[in-house]
Amino acid sequence: MSVRRAIIHQLREEARRLLSERRVDCIIGYETGPRGRVRPAFLYEPAEADRLVWGPECVHNLTTYLHNKKKPRKRGEEPPRIGIVVKPCDSRTLNVLFAERQIERGRVYVIGIACEGVMGRDGQPAAKCRRCTDRVPLVYDLLLGEPPAVEPAPDDWSDLERVAAMAPAERLTFWLREFDRCIRCYACRQVCPGCYCPTCAFERDDGLWVDMGIEIPQKFVFHLGRAFHLAGRCVECDECERVCPMGLPLSLLNRCLVREIEALYGHRAGRAEALTPLLFELGPEGSPI
């Protein structure tokens, strides 16, 4: 049996056990859709466990769906207990959400999978995987698979060199040209597990009588504002760039801030269950003051 098939078998058995024993109310994982593409799957019964799959096509960061499971389904009930499949980069998101008290650790059963990387849109290894230094999830209740023997190269920020080499005026022109292509579909915000405000600040004024701002200044403010809201919190899963229908290089913008936060504070989001020092003054034990 191949390693991939062994992981799928173990994953299905564990999901079946968790649902049979009512350890969890739902399993969030991956399945193959009717068009042959891998998509998120939500399982509620043990018989559904055979829908689960695993492989380099499992690109989605599933932790964003935890926000839909935070509230009880009925008044008087407790919030549901969720089992979730995570890759190493996804597990960093869990640490951020745990630190920010968005998800209760005791209500999440984490099935971590050792990962060799996933595929990008072009069928080649995703850019984030080529610079990723994690091959085993940082947080899990059950680990499936063995860490790959190949050690990834350390992050050299080479993807930022082109933008960093530009003069300030040239860099502004570059970003304005990119933001001008934005259609304000909010896909980047919707897919991001760090964007969980009930009402987005940039959509608050959009209503029946006020149109969505689609001029360059409004789009500029939206993307910069979202990037700053994620500063010190972005785990570089690149989901925002993956789902963008216009192909905006959003990972460049986010990683510019990732590099600055690491240089200033020695903080890389999700490496540990800790709040970002950019937003909070932390006490000696890491708790916010």
10-residue mean pLDDT series, the chain (289 residues): 87 97 96 94 96 94 93 81 95 94 94 89 83 88 84 76 92 94 92 89 63 78 92 93 94 93 91 81 52
Amino acid occupying residue 165? A
Contact 64, 98 (CB under 8 A): no
Residues 10 and 138 occupy one common structural domain: yes
Cβ neighbours, 10 Å, residue 245:
10
The answer to the question of residue 289 being in a domain is no
The answer to the question of residue 281 being in a domain is no
The answer to the question of residue 283 being in a domain is no
Share of the chain above pLDDT 70, in %: 90
Helices of type H across the chain? 3-20, 88-99, 127-131, 161-164, 168-180, 187-191, 216-229, 239-243, 250-265
pLDDT of residue 159: 87
Residues 139 and 9 occupy one common structural domain: yes
Residues 169 and 135 occupy one common structural domain: no
pLDDT of residue 152: 61
Looking at the structure of the chain, the number of domains it has is 2
Q: Which residue segment(s) compose the domain that 8 sits in?
A: 3-144
Residues 11 and 106 occupy one common structural domain: yes
